[in-house]
Amino acid sequence: MIQVLWRPVVAIILGFVLLGSLACTESFSRLTKAPQYSEDEFAAQRRRLVESLKEQGISKRPVLEALLKVPRHKFVPPTYRHLAYENRPLPIGHDQTISQPFIVGYMTEMAEIASGETVLEIGTGSGYQAAVLAELAKEVYSIEIIPPLAENARNLLREMGYQNVQVKTGNGYLGWPEHAPFDAIIVTAAPDEVPQALVDQLAVRGKMVVPVGSGFQQMVIVTRNESGVVERRTIPVAFVPMVDKPQP
């Protein structure tokens, strides 16, 4: 597993270096004319991206098919749309990012989502991860703490025909107890420890995929069974912090 994933880990780190560089040159990029691609050209770029993700270790066919189907460029601001199918995170405003495609594929694959299942996502962002999840699950419930992002994602997902996704503005630490238990939970921001409220809302035999850490972060796979939970740490990652942790 380590041999399979070492190149993606380097890509993750490089992606965030490039993201910082992009942020520093945003004003310049607006002064230069970015390439304009047709839908057919975007589709070809998406196919090449998915092929590269297969080489990096994303192997489950339903996940690859979902990544191939969802048009990532529609979830990227116009300034960066020409970069939508490069394997890197990109800014989406409000100091947030759309995750690197490898990470989206990796988290989705680790969650082991089956058709007919219900999924909770913490951190809607632009809605891209929710769209990928919606291709696999029966129902997706997604929480975004930043109101403008929640509203934009809700409208975009509705326009794209994703009727099995509900987005609400709220604190992800609290989860969405009205719709629990969830067969899978994916968290796209990093708490300093696994939130207990989310563990409580995870179904027996369900999996939660969450980046954990306040400095150095690792992806943690939480599996709930009849007797408790099992945590497994996998790859190093770099996510924006999960904010508004409730005080004891």
**pLDDT tens digits along 105-135:** 999 999 999 999 999 999 999 999 999 999 9
Query: What is the structure's pLDDT at 89?
Result: 96
CA-to-CA distance for 97 and 95, rounded, in angstroms? 7
**Average pLDDT for residues 195-217, to the nearest whole number?**
96
Domain count, the chain: 1
C-beta of residue 80 within 8 angstroms of C-beta of residue 22: yes
Buried b (16+ CB within 10 A) or exposed e, 83-116: bbbbbbbbbbeeebbbbbbbbbbbbbbbbbbeee
CA-to-CA distance for 203 and 152, rounded, in angstroms? 30
Query: What is the structure's pLDDT at 50?
Result: 98
User: pLDDT averaged over the chain?
Assistant: 89
User: Could you tell me the pLDDT band of residue 85, with boundaries at 50, 70 and 90?
Assistant: very high
Annotated catalytic residue 27: no
**Average pLDDT for residues 203-213, to the nearest whole number?**
97
Query: What is the structure's pLDDT at 215?
Result: 83
Is 246 a domain residue?
Answer: no
**Average pLDDT for residues 187-215, to the nearest whole number?**
96
* pLDDT at position 3 over 80: no
Is 154 a domain residue?
Answer: yes
Question: What is the domain extent for residue 143?
Answer: 2-237
Query: What is the structure's pLDDT at 244?
Result: 87
Is 138 a domain residue?
Answer: yes
Joined tokens for residue 75: 């979830």
User: Could you tell me the pLDDT band of residue 16, with boundaries at 50, 70 and 90?
Assistant: very low
> One of 52, 99, 126, 227 is an active-site residue; which one?
99
Is 185 a domain residue?
Answer: yes
Shortest CA distance to 122 belongs to which of 75, 169, 71? 169
User: Could you tell me the pLDDT band of residue 21, with boundaries at 50, 70 and 90?
Assistant: very low
CA-to-CA distance for 95 and 145, rounded, in angstroms? 13
Is 70 a domain residue?
Answer: yes
Query: What is the structure's pLDDT at 64?
Result: 98
Any idea what the CATH number is for the domain that residue 45 is in? 3.40.50.150
Is 89 a domain residue?
Answer: yes
Between the alpha carbon of residue 45 and those of residues 48, 71, 81, the distances in Å are 5, 10, 12
Is 29 a domain residue?
Answer: yes
pTM of the predicted model as reported, rounded to 2 decimal places: 0.87
* pLDDT at position 30 over 70: no
C-beta of residue 134 within 8 angstroms of C-beta of residue 184: no
Shortest CA distance to 12 belongs to which of 245, 246, 239? 239
Is 191 a domain residue?
Answer: yes
Provide the 3-class DSSP secondary structure of residue 98: strand
